[in-house]
Amino acid sequence: MKIAAAAAFAAAALALAVLSPQSARAQVAQGDKFFTVDLGAGLPYGKVDSPGLPSEKLADPGFMGGVQYIYQLSPNFGLGGDVYYSLFNTHKAHSCVPFLNQTMTFTMRKTTFELTGRWVFMPQAPYYPYLVGGVGVNNIYYQARLQPSAVGVFPLGGKFTDTSFTTPSFSAGLGFEGALTESFLAGFEARWRYLGTYSLSSFSGSNPLGFGPPFYTTSDEYSFGPASEVTLAIRLGWKFKAGS
């Protein structure tokens, strides 16, 4: 999936370079304002470590979407902010404890808020590459759960953890945009983002009956990360000229 996504990204960038009309001059200028919407894939990297158990992937690749605003301080450099949301697919792993005979699931989603800078190459061209980076915070929701099973110690399942936490974020990437009309543009962007580390302590196993004390508690330290994400996104946007 990752190779296919990268190939699609490269092919789309090439198609935009070939098909973008030369007459639709982008002419990125000081004072221009850009608003873009991103849609694509989020590829998570990292592990969750449990005492005495093998490391597991945080989650599987999923959907990402976001919005970005950039104000051009010069034809090359712009400053603004973005908000991105990623909903990763649930990662499933069979329990390594034979008598449990159950499946563990790991679910993650996150929202990122960043102050963003962008450096545009060839601002007078109808399509142009750029470098982008940002700093901010991630708000992450994470759940590890023992799924219900017909056979096992916990036949109705139970949660290991269900929590939200905040981590620092910083990102770096590159992109490619082209003017489709005087105001409308399209592009592609690949970005790497740091999601941080977090100590998940004092897990509680829920009571699958829905009431009463949990089946177990533990003060063991469970570690999230270090984690990161690569996003591959199609971008659609609008340019508002200086003074508009």
d(CA 111, CA 92): 22
**Given the structure tokens 């158990």, which residue do they identify?**
53
Between 243 and 192, residue with greater pLDDT = 192
What region does 166 belong to: left with phi over 0, alpha with psi -120 to 50, or beta?
A: beta
Quick: pLDDT tens for 144-190.
Answer: 776 655 554 444 445 566 778 899 999 999 999 988 888 899 999 99
Quick: pLDDT tens for 62-113.
Answer: 999 999 999 999 999 999 999 999 999 888 776 655 555 567 778 889 999 9
Q: CA 223, 171, 227 angle in degrees (round to 5)?
A: 15
Quick: pLDDT tens for 194-242.
Answer: 998 887 654 555 544 444 555 444 445 567 778 899 999 999 999 998 7
d(CA 63, CA 42): 6
Q: Is the pLDDT of residue 6 over 70?
A: no
Contacts of 81 (CB under 8 A, 6+ apart): 68, 69, 113, 114, 115, 116, 134, 136
Q: How confident is the model at residue 17 (pLDDT cuts 50, 70, 90)?
A: very low
The fraction of the chain above a pLDDT of 90, given in percent, is 43
Domains delineated in the chain: 2-240 (2.40.160.20)
Q: For the whole model, what pTM was predicted?
A: 0.75
Q: How many CB atoms lie within 10 A of CB 202?
A: 12
Q: How far apart, in Å, are the Cα atoms of 139 and each of 92, 105, 183, 202?
A: 23, 20, 33, 20
Pairing state between β 91-94 and 56-57: unpaired
Lookup: tokens for 81: 């902010």
What region does 156 belong to: left with phi over 0, alpha with psi -120 to 50, or beta?
A: alpha
Quick: pLDDT tens for 21-75.
Answer: 444 455 788 999 999 999 999 999 988 776 656 677 888 899 999 999 999 999 9
**Given the structure tokens 């996504």, which residue do they identify?**
5
